[in-house]
């Protein structure tokens, strides 16, 4: 049987990976945006407005971090162990789906040509993978709650 200490340790390691990966993504996006915008400004010699935001697939990582933090809090506060396990399982599924959703965001699953920095919205493959990840997380959480 899993002890709460084991689950908290596993969540701690997972949160370390998640926060590191998310920080790297934000850093990469900001440096890419700043370089791209500086090149555009030099080329066009005009003022340009910058749109801030993160990729829709990055929200999988954010949601996974939130679920795992709630799982630890519930464990520490003596909440229902099944719910904590369900949150952890759902967060794990979301984090496992995240790399594939990022590949969809960068259009790695289709052979198309596009202008660098031209993407404004989520790609179709990214949305499909996000939906699969959310559905998988929901089913995993329900399975864990019902199985225990």
- Domain coordinates of the chain in residue numbers? 4-147
pLDDT per residue as tens, the chain (148 positions)? 667 788 888 888 989 988 998 898 888 877 776 666 555 555 655 554 445 567 888 889 999 999 989 888 887 888 777 888 899 999 999 999 999 998 888 777 777 665 555 555 678 888 999 999 999 999 999 999 998 7
CA distance 6 to 17: 17
73-81 — which CB contacts under 8 Å span 24+ positions?
75/4, 75/7, 75/8, 76/8, 81/4, 81/148
- Sequence-distant (≥ 6) Cβ neighbours of residue 144 within 8 angstroms: 82, 85, 86, 89
Beta strand residue intervals within 33-147, DSSP E: none
What is the pTM for the complete model shown?
0.76
Cβ atoms of residues 34 and 58 within 8 Å: no
Instruction: Tell me what pLDDT residue 74 has.
Output: 82
Q: What angle do CA 129, 23, 55 make, to 5 degrees?
A: 35
Give the three-state DSSP class for 111: coil
Q: What is the pLDDT of residue 65?
A: 92
What's the confidence (pLDDT) of residue 112? 67
Helix (H) or strand (E) holding 71: helix 58-76
- pLDDT attached to residue 48: 47
CA–CA gap between residue 70 and residue 74 (Å, rounded): 6
What's the CA gap between 140 and 147, in Å, rounded? 10
The pLDDT of residue 36: 60
């Amino acid at each position: 049987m899993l002890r709460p200490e084991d689950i908290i340790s596993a969540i701690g390691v997972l949160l370390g990976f998640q926060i590191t990966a998310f920080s790297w993504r934000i850093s990469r996006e900001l440096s890419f945006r700043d370089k791209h915008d500086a090149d555009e400004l030099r080329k066009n010699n005009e003022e340009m407005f910058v749109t801030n935001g993160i990729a829709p697939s990055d929200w999988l990582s954010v949601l996974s971090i939130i679920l795992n933090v709630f799982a630890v809090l519930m464990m520490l506060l003596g909440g229902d162990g099944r719910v904590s396990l369900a949150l952890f399982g759902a967060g794990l599924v979301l984090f496992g789906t995240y790399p594939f959703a990022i590949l969809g965001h960068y259009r790695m699953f289709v052979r198309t040509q596009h202008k660098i920095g031209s993407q404004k919205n989520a790609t179709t493959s990214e949305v499909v993978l996000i939906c699969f990840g959310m559905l998988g997380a929901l089913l995993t959480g329900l399975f864990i709650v019902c199985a225990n």
